[in-house]
């Protein structure tokens, strides 16, 4: 940490214009980063805290992501255990979504995106040539920021995954999967009699839980959630948070959130991203009570973001 | 004075009116520095005066030019010798026509005698005098209008509001031209069609199986009883449209799917403009492509298979028409597919769908209403298409479902009924209007349906 304090004094005064387009972009988004010249984090480039954990299930090693010339994720390494909730926080544009999308190779569908480094899931490199991204995504499910049920019935939304992966032998098995998924997503009571109605006719919070049900219907090992509550009201948010508490008994959950409270409530560990760097990662209460890095501290006390 | 000179002078006067109006507006408030004391910007006072200068005098000009010929003709007839004035109306019209031709130095269909020559020269004299009067009148009105408006300028004159309301009326007039023309066309087609249905019962037209619109000129003529059963035309149209859609829908849809989901940006950048080129080829070109290339080819292939193929076949016209419609189908389908939110695609991919599962199970069902709407628009385009079928499908009104035979369509028959010299009240000619009415009703219905489906679907996401 000494390098850090030194680097602050080494750096030009905060207001000095530094020709760096990366920083300008962030300033345009309203984040006062001019106080934190990039060299600071690059000099202390190594992540602070504990990137490793017991029984790692997913291991991310030295991952970089580029969108064309934009270096969106820089040398990030992180381990994720089974049955834990890890929250990714950081100012917008810092690469949380990009990082999340690396974990199930959703970046593949973005033409300009390029990923380097290694991501191991249960000992297998998910970016290996022989790895099929389609099969991978069945193991690493994803819930998006805006609820996105398909324009199909509630039933068909949940049955979609099991059908394409051939998880159910017959109609009764499919029914069972749909029911248990809805049940575990805490939605069954509300939609029991509305299974034939379009998924889009549900309320926003119900739609998001439908999307969660749809994801767990294919029985993934990890669930990625990209700001799953940002489009929801506080009550619907609370329901989803409760749900995460239950789901983490079976799944590892990686959640991107903008709400510090949410991160504090649901996660066991927190990872703080800044300009594509993983600045600090540690146990949740440690991050919130005793952050080691100045950037982390400033972010959680509301000075950036 | 020439009318062009007159109009040029009016333009010049209006420009001057603008200049003086603007200057006076500034003068009333004490010079260019005090423009803010005016109600409107100085330029509006200029336009205000210019409008008062130009519009009344243009109206006079217009009315004058409408009335002038009648008046002059009446006066010329008045001056003709007694012998001419007892002629019948038709003969008088012919005579006047000749006088006018003589006056303008064109060929004349009768022997020219002294009376005619005199009439022609008096015709010219009247016209000249009328034009001089008009010039004096129009310029006078322009000057007067401009002067009155100019005197009326004061600081509180709401010049902007007045100019803008004139502009608004001009816009209303311009846009009503299209609407009124449409209404006019519909009404004229409707009335002519009603006249047709007085001669031929509507039931025969709609349900009759025999179409041969040759009516007898002489009572004893053979084979020209004229029968107006339009069913063969409807089936011919349906057959060709069906073939066209059979080509255009799969190809267009697959093109759209490929471009929207599979192609790289570079392929898209090349393929889309190419499709637009295809859409921009004149239909005549498609027509001779169909008639000279495709039809003989189909005939040859058919014959080598031992099939009887007419040299003008529904198949050739339909296939080429389908090719013509591909860009329409593909661009409307492409729009529909692109309108499906990216979140649907991400959701499907995130559940482990392959690209084709994403396409067939999520995106296409979501885009289906838009695609159907686009297809309806394409059908209506195919039904109304004329040139290709005229050139490649033949003229014989066969009642057949065999695509290798020649058939004819509603549009082709309209063309053939109206080409050449026709009386405008024979059943044969009027039949064209009845067919046109049918065509109009059907395509209008399809368009309304297609557009409303497309629009409703657009609203569905946002
Ligand atoms: N599809 C994309 N194409 C190009 N650049 C992108 C794309 N998505 C994100 N980026 C860039 O990557 C950086 C990180 O974005 P993102 O991961 O969305 O941040 P966050 O989720 O933390 O707000 C940003 O600079 C953003 O502009
Ligand atoms: Mg994001």
pLDDT computed for residue B430 by the predictor: 86
Task: Give the H or E element holding residue B148.
Answer: helix B114-151
3-class secondary structure, A51: coil
pLDDT computed for residue B225 by the predictor: 59
pLDDT computed for residue A32 by the predictor: 40
Question: CA nearest B289: which of B205, B388, B356?
Answer: B388
For the segment(s) B227-461, the CATH number from 1.10.3720.10, 3.60.20.10, 3.30.565.10, 1.10.10.10 is 1.10.3720.10
Q: Which residues contact B28 (CB under 8 A, 6 or more apart)?
A: B38, B153, B154, B155
3-class secondary structure, A255: strand
Complete DSSP assignment for B380-449: HHHHH--HHHHHHT-S-------TTS----HHHHHHHHHSS---TTSHHHHHHHHHHHHHHHHHHHHHHH
Ligand 2 centroid, distance to B269 Cα (angstroms): 29
Of the residues A151, A165, A167, the best mutation for testing chain B's interface (the one with the most B CB atoms within 10 Å of its CB) is A151
Q: Average pLDDT of chain B?
A: 87
Tell me, using a 6 A CB cutoff, whether residue A98 lines ligand 1. Answer: yes
Residue of chain B nearest A220, judged by CA positions: B351
Complex prediction ipTM: 0.82
- Mutate which of A70, A90, A113, A224 for ligand 1 pocket (most atoms within 8 A of beta carbon): A70
In terms of C-beta distances under 8 Å and separation of at least 24 residues, what long-range contacts does A288-295 make, across chains too? A288/A260, A288/A264, A292/A1, A292/A48, A292/A49, A293/A1, A293/A4, A293/A44, A293/A48, A294/A4, A294/A8, A295/A36, A295/A41
Q: Please give the sequence-ordered ranges of beta strands (E in DSSP) within A136-257, or none if there are none.
A: 140-143, 222-226, 252-256
Report yes or no: B267 at the A interface, CB cutoff 8 Å. Answer: no
The verdict on a CB contact (< 8 Å) between B362 and A150 is yes
Query: Given the structure tokens 């692109």, which residue do they identify?
Result: B338
Residues in chain A predicted with pLDDT less than 70, given as ranges, are 1-45, 305
d(CA B29, CA B47): 18
pTM score over 0.80: no
Residues in chain B predicted with pLDDT less than 50, given as ranges, are 462
Question: CA nearest A99: which of A131, A129, A123, A71?
Answer: A71
A238's tokens: 């609370």
3-class secondary structure, A231: coil
pLDDT in tens, B170-186: 999 999 999 999 999 99
Tell me, using a 6 A CB cutoff, whether residue A97 lines ligand 1. Answer: yes
The verdict on a CB contact (< 8 Å) between B344 and A104 is no
d(CA A137, CA B440): 53
Ligand 2 centroid, distance to A242 Cα (angstroms): 22
d(CA B110, CA A265): 106
Phi first, then psi, for residue B158 (nearest 5°) are -85, 70
The verdict on a CB contact (< 8 Å) between B357 and A215 is no
B21's tokens: 């109006």
pLDDT computed for residue B394 by the predictor: 78
DSSP, res A292: -
The verdict on a CB contact (< 8 Å) between B352 and A160 is no
Question: CA nearest B189: which of B380, B414, B395?
Answer: B414
- Are residues B432 and B352 in contact, defined by beta-carbon separation less than 8 angstroms? no
pLDDT computed for residue B221 by the predictor: 57
The verdict on a CB contact (< 8 Å) between B350 and A141 is yes
Ligand 1 centroid, distance to B342 Cα (angstroms): 16
Q: Which residues contact B462 (CB under 8 A, 6 or more apart)?
A: none
Q: Provide the shortest C-alpha distance from residue B351 to chain A (in Å).
A: 6
Exposed/middle/buried for A112, CB within 10 Å: 0-12, 13-18, 19+?
A: exposed
Q: Which residues contact B314 (CB under 8 A, 6 or more apart)?
A: B236, B239, B240, B243, B393, B402, B403, B404, B405, B406, B407
Q: Which ligand is nearest to the CA of A89?
A: 1
Ligand 1 centroid, distance to A99 Cα (angstroms): 9
pLDDT in tens, B306-357: 888 887 888 999 999 999 999 999 999 998 898 889 899 999 999 999 999 9
Residue of chain A nearest B361, judged by CA positions: A160
pLDDT in tens, A32-91: 444 444 444 443 567 888 888 888 999 999 999 999 999 999 999 999 999 899 999 999
Domain ranges of chain B: 3-157, 227-461
pLDDT computed for residue B421 by the predictor: 67
Report yes or no: B353 at the A interface, CB cutoff 8 Å. Answer: yes
DSSP, res A12: P
Ligand 2 centroid, distance to A88 Cα (angstroms): 10
Ligand 1 atom 8: residue of nearest CA: A98
pLDDT in tens, B142-179: 999 999 999 999 888 899 999 999 999 999 999 999 99
Ligand 1 atom 18: residue of nearest CA: A97
The verdict on a CB contact (< 8 Å) between A152 and B365 is yes
């Amino acid at each position: 940490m000494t390098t850090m304090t030194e680097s602050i004094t080494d750096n030009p005064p905060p207001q000095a214009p530094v020709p760096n387009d990366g920083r300008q972009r962030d300033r345009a988004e309203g984040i006062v980063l001019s106080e934190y010249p990039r060299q600071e984090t690059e000099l202390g480039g190594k992540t602070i805290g504990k990137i490793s954990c017991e029984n790692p299930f997913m291991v991310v090693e030295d991952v970089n992501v580029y969108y064309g010339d934009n270096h969106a994720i820089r040398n990030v390494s992180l381990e994720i255990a089974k049955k834990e909730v890890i929250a990714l926080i950081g100012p917008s544009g810092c690469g949380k979504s990009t990082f999340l999308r690396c974990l199930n190779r959703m970046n593949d569908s973005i033409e300009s995106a390029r990923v380097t480094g290694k991501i191991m899931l249960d000992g297998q490199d998910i970016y290996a040539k022989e790895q099929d991204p389609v099969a991978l995504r069945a193991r690493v499910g994803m819930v998006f920021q805006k609820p996105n049920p398909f324009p199909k019935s509630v039933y068909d939304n949940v049955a979609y995954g099991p059908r394409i992966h051939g998880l159910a032998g017959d109609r009764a098995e499919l029914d069972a999967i749909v029911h248990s998924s809805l049940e575990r997503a805490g939605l069954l009571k509300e939609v029991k009699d509305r299974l034939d109605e379009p998924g889009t006719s549900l309320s926003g919070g119900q739609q998001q839980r439908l999307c969660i049900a749809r994801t767990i219907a294919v029985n993934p090992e990890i669930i990625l959630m990209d700001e799953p509550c940002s489009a929801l009201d506080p009550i619907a948010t609370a329901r989803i948070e409760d749900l995460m508490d239950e789901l983490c008994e079976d799944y590892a959950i990686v959640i991107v959130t903008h709400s510090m409270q949410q991160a504090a409530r649901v996660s066991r560990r927190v990872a703080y991203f800044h300009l594509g760097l993983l600045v600090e990662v540690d146990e949740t209460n440690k991050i919130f009570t005793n952050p080691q890095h100045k950037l982390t501290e400033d972010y959680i006390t509301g000075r950036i973001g | 004075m020439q009318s062009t000179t007159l109009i040029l002078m009016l333009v010049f006067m209006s420009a001057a009116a603008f200049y003086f109006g603007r200057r006076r507006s500034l003068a009333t408030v004490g010079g260019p520095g005090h423009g803010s004391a005016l109600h409107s910007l100085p330029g509006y006072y200029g336009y205000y005066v210019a409008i008062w200068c130009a519009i009344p005098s243009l109206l006079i000009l217009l009315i004058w030019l409408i009335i002038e010929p009648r008046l002059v003709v009446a006066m010329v007839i008045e001056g003709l010798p007694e012998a001419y004035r007892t002629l019948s109306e038709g003969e008088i019209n012919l005579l006047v026509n000749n006088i006018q031709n003589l006056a303008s130095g064109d060929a004349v269909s009768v022997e020219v005698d002294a009376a005619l020559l005199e009439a022609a020269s008096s015709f010219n004299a009247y016209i000249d005098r009328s034009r001089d009067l008009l010039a004096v009148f129009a310029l006078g009105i322009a000057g007067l209008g401009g002067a009155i408006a100019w005197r009326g300028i004061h600081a509180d004159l709401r010049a902007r509001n007045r100019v803008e309301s004139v502009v608004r009326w001009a816009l209303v007039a311009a846009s009503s031209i299209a609407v009124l023309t449409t209404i006019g066309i519909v009404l004229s087609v409707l009335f002519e069609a009603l006249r047709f249905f007085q001669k031929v019962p509507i039931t025969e037209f709609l349900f009759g199986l025999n179409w041969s619109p040759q009516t007898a000129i002489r009572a004893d003529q053979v084979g020209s009883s004229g029968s107006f059963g339009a069913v063969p035309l409807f089936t011919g149209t349906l057959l060709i449209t069906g073939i066209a859609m059979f080509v255009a829908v799969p190809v267009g849809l697959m093109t759209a799917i490929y471009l929207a989901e599979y192609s790289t940006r570079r392929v898209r950048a090349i393929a889309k403009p190419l499709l637009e080129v295809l859409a921009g080829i004149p239909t005549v070109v498609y027509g001779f492509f169909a008639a000279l290339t495709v039809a003989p080819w189909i005939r040859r292939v058919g014959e080598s298979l031992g099939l009887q193929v007419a040299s003008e076949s529904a198949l050739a016209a339909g296939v080429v028409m389908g090719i013509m419609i591909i860009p329409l189908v593909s661009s409307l389908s492409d729009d529909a597919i692109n309108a499906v939110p990216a979140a649907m695609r991400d959701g499907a991919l995130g559940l482990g769908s392959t690209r084709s599962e994403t396409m067939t199970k999520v995106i296409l069902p979501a885009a289906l209403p838009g695609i159907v709407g686009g297809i309806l628009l394409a059908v209506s385009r195919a039904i109304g298409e004329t040139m290709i079928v005229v050139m490649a499908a033949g003229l014989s009104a066969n009642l057949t479902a065999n695509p290798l035979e020649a058939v004819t369509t509603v549009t082709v028959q309209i063309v053939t009924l109206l080409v050449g010299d026709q009386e405008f009240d024979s059943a044969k000619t009027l039949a064209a209007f009845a067919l046109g009415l049918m065509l109009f009703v059907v395509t209008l219905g399809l368009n309304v349906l297609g557009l409303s489906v497309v629009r409703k679907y657009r609203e569905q996401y946002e």
